[in-house]
Amino acid sequence: MHIPDGFLVKEVFIPLAVVSAAGVAVASRRASGRLGGRMVPLVGAMSAFVFAAQMINFPVGAGVSGHFVGTAFLTVVFGAPVAVLAMTAVLIVQALVFADGGIAALGANVFNMAIVGAISARVVFATGRRVIAERAAVFAAGFVSTLAAAVFCALELAASGVAPAAPLVGAMALTHAVIGLAEGAVSVGAYGALKGASPEIFAENSVAGGAL
């Protein structure tokens, strides 16, 4: 889902860079009151976990692989603003150090995986936990956030003339629906492990506490 350089036209990647910069600025303001002294190392550790988990690819189909994204996990643990900041940091390091995603396309990748991913995960989890079991809501958040980010990615590529919109969106949605199932399962496992080890984190910092 990381878009390399050369795929997006400037009419697409420049506006997305501006929108993403504004989104990160808003997230930074909203997250500032939630990042106390003991929370910063924890957010850093969970971001490192997401970074490492993204390095592990799994097969989806013939010649196609996927990997854990982690935005939904960060969102249900820390809230959407912190998740946006953490994912943005992960994406910057990946682009600059590992050439995983382009420099010019960084704004698009932040928009898709950090901003769209966090907002969709927040909405699904906050709504779902009222009507279904909490861990089922975590699974749904992981699935939907992955699918939403993939659809936006496909629309951006289509707007840049890479391929017609309908088949591109269909192919991306189908592939990432499968990846989303794995995303949901890993999110549930990581969420359950962290909640079992440190339940106090969730009382103070989760979406349940009202973070947007």
User: What local confidence, expressed as pLDDT, does residue 3 receive?
Assistant: 92
Structure confidence at residue 39 (pLDDT):
79
Q: Which residues contact 12 (CB under 8 A, 6 or more apart)?
A: 108, 156, 159, 160
Q: Is the pTM of this model over 0.85?
A: yes
Q: What's the rounded Cα separation, in Å, for the pair 51 and 80?
A: 17
pLDDT tens digits along 118-173: 999 999 999 999 999 999 999 999 999 999 999 999 999 999 999 999 999 999 99
pLDDT reading at 191 higher than 80: yes
Burial of 172 (0-12, 13-18, 19+ CB in 10 A): buried
The DSSP code sequence of the chain is: -PPPTTSS-HHHHHHHHHHHHHHHHHHHHHHGGG--TTHHHHHHHHHHHHHHHHT-EEEEETTEEEE---HHHHHHHH-HHHHHHHHHHHHHHHHHHS--S-STTHHHHIIIIIIIHHHHHHHHHHHHTTTS-HHHHHHHHHHHHHHHHHHHHHHHHHHTTSS-HHHHHHHHHHHHHHHHHHHHHHHHHHHHHHHHH-HHHHHHHSGGGT--
pLDDT tens-digit readout, 32-77? 877 766 778 888 899 998 998 888 776 665 555 677 899 999 999 9
Q: What is the pLDDT of residue 60?
A: 62
Higher pLDDT, 206 or 210: 206
With beta carbons less than 8 A apart as the criterion, state whether 150 and 173 touch.
yes
Lowest mean pLDDT segment, chosen from 26-40, 69-83, 181-195: 26-40
- pLDDT tens track for 87-128: 999 999 999 998 888 999 999 999 999 999 999 999 999 999
The rounded distance, in Å, linking the Cα atoms of 140 and 134 is 10
The pLDDT assigned to 32 comes to: 81
CB 154 within 8 A of CB 172: yes
C-beta of residue 177 within 8 angstroms of C-beta of residue 47: no
CATH class of 10-209: mainly alpha
CA distance 115 to 81: 9
> What are the residue ranges spanned by the domains of the chain?
10-209
pLDDT category at 199 given cuts 50, 70, 90 is confident
